[in-house]
A and B are shown apart, each in its own frame.
Chain A
Amino acid sequence: MGDSLSIQHQEQGRSQLVKMGLMAGLTLFLCLFALGQGSSSQLDVLTTAKIVLGLESGTEIQSSIIWELRLPRVLMAIIGGVGLATAGALMQGCLGNPLVSPLTLGVASGAALGAALAIVLGFSFTTIGAFAIAGNAFVFSLIVVFIIIQLGRYRSISAESYILVGIAITFIAGAIVSTMQYFATDAQLSQLAHWSFGSLARPDMVIVLGIGIVIFGLMPQAMLWSWDLNALSMGGDDFAISTGVNPSQIRKNILVLSALMTSAIIAFTGMIGFVGLAAPHMSRLIIGNDYRKLLPSSAICGAFLMILADTIGRTLFAPVVIPVGIMLAIIGGPVFMYLLLQSKGVQR
């Protein structure tokens, strides 16, 4: 056996795994609870839990409500939370900046521009009716991803330059969307506003599964980058190189992957921003900054926040549903601020 420091390090690793297990358990429990929330009076939390766990076979209506209405929504919350939180953690790490979120690079603004073009001008790259808005949002967010790839070709581009270009893209896309709003009809305006709120109700099961494949398909690659992220986020470019990491190359790859994750989600749900900033930071407070553990725990935290926000949004003023993007900011914001200030207090 090793000496006391090695043993202590191993023990800390194990206790981190236990914490992550607890977080995952809590999230799963919340999922069951969320599946039980809704307007149908014959489906309370307990009955739903029994049906989902296979302890009871519900009526045809009951199972149809659970599997076709509520499950896609809860799944979308999980996938969206996992994807946006992972993208946020990846981007913060590779840019060495705690202020960064998945919206920083302008991917979501690209999506908003695509949606606005489809809604206001009826212009869309995707002709299929149901996909006119979401598909166009996706195409335009991919254009932003393409711009990021092009930026990455400049060997000397710094982390700050990526952020500044992202902010510029956000301003440009925002200005074009505002111009279109100026000329839009009332109906179009309300549709556009509705899109920008961000909602988990839009994607159907097929889309949800498609997004899920993209997100969970990209996760292993993100995990493989953990060491590179540790080196980059810990000590900057020179320190990373001294550890064998090529900062410009890895930064480009990580940004492209996180931008893809972000656009796959945002295009179909609309603007959901806060979870990508808050979930990684909450995980940093709970687990620490080691990306081997930070990435999975951010993913769990993200799923937890999304389900929590959506469930509260669905039940608080039922039958009126408050979009998840709004609820996230309203509930998550103060909690986030409290956690941050508390941790600063401990430091002193």
Chain B
Amino acid sequence: MSLLDVHELCFSWPGREVLRDINFEIKPNELVSVLGVNGAGKTTLLKCINRILAQTSGRVRLQSKDMVNLSLMKVAKHIAYVPQNVGTNFPMKVFDVVLLGRRPHLSWFVGEGDREKVSESLHYLNLSDFAFRRYDQLSGGERQRVVLAKALAQDPNLFLLDEPTSDLDLKNQIIIMEKVRALVKDSSRASSALVAIHDIDIAARFSDKILLLHEGVIHAFGPPQEVLTPENIAHVFGVEAEIMGDSSSMRIIIQGALE
């Protein structure tokens, strides 16, 4: 059974088509990366799945339930979306930001279990030292991890991550992707992740599957070694690339821009 089933999904702004006939499935415990150039529709795809944007046509099903029939609160119980930049005029303490992840699960009062979950998430992402710092006093990378911790505290079946490593240094990029992958691969729970990302190398290294978006259409979808071919990379990104290594350790070397 698939965890997420996207069927014939289309989205347009008035006068501009952004996504056309998107069909794909995500199975439990799978990490799928969405690759594509700026404006290819990566963020739009994530937003449609999370009901931030209403699709023009098509269907999104989560655990075979049609998402349109679910309230946003129900959706948030199952899907945790991490937007690109969460800025704020009214910053809270990091612990309280992460506590917002428990919002879909609690009535009004915060229980011991909710606090435990928040602590766990903070520990897992190495944020314990920041727990009582103000969100606005953190660096961009630290903020990104806080919002990820909030998603983790939400205990979802599906993580939708929009460029989760864009503000992170090299080491933290690897650490965070390893942690996301470990979460997804945790067999005690059926959770998956759909990650919009720019870095082809990171995507190839950590993903089970790659979804290659080109001008709002799926150009290719499958395991990294099948999707990330020199031909596909040239077609979608307009660069010449050489693929080294085998399926277990792929390296993509970008030679230069194509005319």
Chain A contact residues, CB within 8 Å of chain B: 2-3, 5-6, 8-10, 12, 92-93, 96-98, 224, 226-227, 230-231, 233-239, 241-246, 284, 288-290, 347
Contact = CB atoms under 8 A, between A and B. Distances in A.
B89 A3 contact: no
Nearest to B136: A347
A120 B90 CA distance: 43
A244 B90 contact: no
B97 A234 contact: yes
B108 A224 contact: yes
Given A6-B116, A244-B75, A245-B72, A239 B92 contact: no
Given A98-B89, A236-B86, A244-B72, A5 B119 contact: yes
Contacts of A246: 72
Contacts of B39: none
Contacts of B82: 242
A244 B83 contact: no
B90 A8 contact: no
A233 B88 contact: yes
A227 B95 contact: no
B52 interface: yes
B88 A235 contact: yes
Contact of A9 (B72, B100, B115, B147): B115
Contacts of A236: 86-88
B138 interface: no
B124 interface: no
A244 B155 CA distance: 13
20 contacts: A2-B112, A9-B132, A12-B93, A98-B90, A227-B100, A230-B92, A231-B103, A234-B100, A234-B135, A236-B86, A239-B147, A241-B51, A241-B72, A242-B83, A242-B151, A243-B154, A244-B75, A245-B103, A289-B92, A290-B93
In this complex, which of A9, A235, A245, A288 has the most chain B Cβ atoms within 10 angstroms of its Cβ?
Answer: A235
Interface in B59-95: 71-77, 79-83, 86-93, 95
A226 to B, nearest CB: 8
Interface residues of B, number: 47
A235 B88 CA distance: 5
A92 B88 CA distance: 12
A233 B119 contact: no
A227 B103 contact: yes
A97 B89 contact: yes
A2 B91 contact: no
B135 to A, nearest CB: 8
A12 B93 CA distance: 11
Contacts of A96: 88-90
B137 interface: yes
Contacts of B87: 235-236
B92 A288 contact: yes
Contacts of B93: 12, 288, 290
A6 B50 contact: no
B90 A6 contact: no
Given A5-B95, A238-B47, A242-B50, A92 B118 contact: no
A6 B119 contact: yes
B128 interface: yes
A302 to B, nearest CB: 18
Nearest to B104: A244
A68 B8 CA distance: 71
Nearest to A284: B90
